[in-house]
A and B are shown apart, each in its own frame.
Chain A
Amino acid sequence: MAGGHGHGHGHGHDGHGAATPTPVLPSGAFLAPGNVELNWVEKMYLPEIVKGLGNTFSHLFKKTFTVDYDGTHREDPRKFHVPSEGYRGEHYLKKDEAGHVKCVACFMCAAACPAECIHIEAEAVPADWKDRERYPKRFEIDLLRCIYCGMCEEACPVDAIALSTTYNVVSETRESKVYARERLLQRGEELGISMSKHQYRPDGIPGHVPEQKQSH
């Protein structure tokens, strides 16, 4: 016992200060800060076990935290997970008012991409496109490489590419996970948000559009 106290000072647990000396168990073992020594009732375990059993029993009848996901019941919130509006899922490309792809093939997204999953081939625009010089002849995203960081979306100067909230991205072949330009445009149309004008996250709720991004 005396040896235990001696150790207590010898090891110098200075962080606790003089007012609250480190509690020392009879065996000389130290208690972690914040822990209390058990009294004899607690040392018998049984009353505490009963308390714990009562706790878990009350959880038996609580509403489950998880959803019964089967991917089909989109309208039922108990069967389908609705991600928050900031969720980064599958990509899509937007169109401008003329119905052309909005992308100007500046390669900013491909440069920003840490996974190097975006491949663009640029081409000079047809003569009747007056608003820019280039457009992507080929635009591919390899979703198997993609890490869904959203940096392409951040980098894009014309808000042509964005990440949707679609998280169910399963497919049966590797090839089908490389999304070409048409597929990406089509995804945007399917989501009904393809035509939306210069917005940071057009799939979000109005009012969630940051001020800075709207200016360009």
Chain B
Amino acid sequence: MAPYLWKLIPILLVFGGILAIVPLLVYLERKICALIQERMGPNRVGLFGPDSPLEVFGFKMGEKRVLGGLLQPLADAIKLIAKEDIIPPQVERYLYEFAPFFALLPPFLAFAVIPIGADLQVGDTAVPLVVADVGVGFLWVLAVASLSAYGVALGGWASNNKYALLGGIRATAQMISYEIGLGMALIAVAMQYQTVEPVSIVAQQVEGGFWHWGIFRQPLAFMLFLICAFAENNRLPFDLPECEAELIGGYHTEYSSMKFGMFFQGEYIAMLTMGGLLATFFLGGWHYPFYEAIREGAGPLIATLLSLVSFGVKTMAFVVFSMWVRWTLPRFRYDQLMRIGWKGIIPVALANIVLTALINIR
């Protein structure tokens, strides 16, 4: 088989995987929110039980609900697609239609450079499980992540609505501010590992073993990256662009139907991407304890499958953590947000770069 056909495996794994997991995240978010607030959460539309959607097709799914609510995102998606797509008359039509795509695309593109597992051995060819192993490495991630500010800004501007515009402006200022912190945290990581390529960074963490993970080598950069990741994703405590109380819904106020759904989806994909980046740079990528021993003992295929699971668990750990944080913390004020970004994170990130340079003098 031609070598470029093997490339389909990581592509399908990454993009299929993301699209499959997003509805699950919506369910997870609602369930975690409910449990923290001592509510039930979605508990009706499940595979089994009296509210199963399969009953529509004539299957009798029993009287007892099992994992009720798991199919709620499916019902939500059908609702979003079937709803009337209202385009208000005052909008700038082309940019208005274009903005949701811009919100959805960048997180996907950023995921392209993240290695999601150990090399897949097929015969004597090793298929690297990364969509694009580009030389510019995480610079690609930073460049593409900047684009997602366009989706929000364009959506806010094209809506021709003051709330949406305010949301868009806030989002742009916030994302640009925190990108600096994000980039500086990653500069320290690049100095530590002497490379900008995620594949190479993960390889070094795998070779060095558990104690060479970025979280132990660069704990300060890890903290900075974590905080900036929340801000980049517009998640609480930095969700000022949405800000239901003051801005109704911020930049997606005027969007309805699946266009709103795409903004919504983009947010969750961005969370997954940030989780993937965090795992790659700080949590050893797809590495897991006893990887070498399992590869020797059970064969490379099992080891690769386990590495996929390992990467998934690490990514999901970040996503679940960000949901947990969302239902714990209140929103920052705008001046607090800017103060934390410019007077807190950026100086600390600069100090971390100097510190890393001093430690790594040879």
Contacts and interface: CB of A to CB of B under 8 A. Distances in A.
A66 B329 CA distance: 23
Contacts, number: 38
A60 B324 CA distance: 10
Interface residues of A, number: 17
B39 A60 contact: no
Interface stretch (B30-38, B128-136, B162-170, B245-253): B30-38
Interface stretch (A9-17, A48-56, A91-99, A177-185): A48-56
B39 A53 contact: no
Contacts of A65: 38-39
B35 A59 contact: yes
B302 interface: no
Nearest to A46: B223
B36 A59 contact: yes
Interface string B33-60: 0111111100100000000000000000
A190 B223 CA distance: 65
A56 B40 contact: no
A59 B40 contact: no
Contacts of A66: 38-40
Contact of A55 (B40, B43, B328): B328
A216 interface: no
Given A56-B324, A56-B328, A57-B324, A64 B39 contact: yes
A62 B35 CA distance: 8
B328 A53 contact: yes
A73 B325 CA distance: 36
A56 B330 CA distance: 13
B38 A53 contact: no
B328 A52 contact: yes
B327 interface: yes
Interface of B: 32, 34-40, 43, 223, 324-325, 327-329, 340
30 contacts: A45-B340, A46-B223, A49-B328, A49-B329, A52-B328, A53-B324, A53-B328, A55-B328, A56-B36, A56-B324, A56-B327, A56-B328, A57-B324, A59-B35, A59-B37, A59-B38, A60-B32, A61-B35, A62-B38, A63-B38, A64-B34, A64-B35, A64-B38, A64-B39, A65-B38, A65-B39, A66-B38, A66-B39, A66-B40, A68-B40
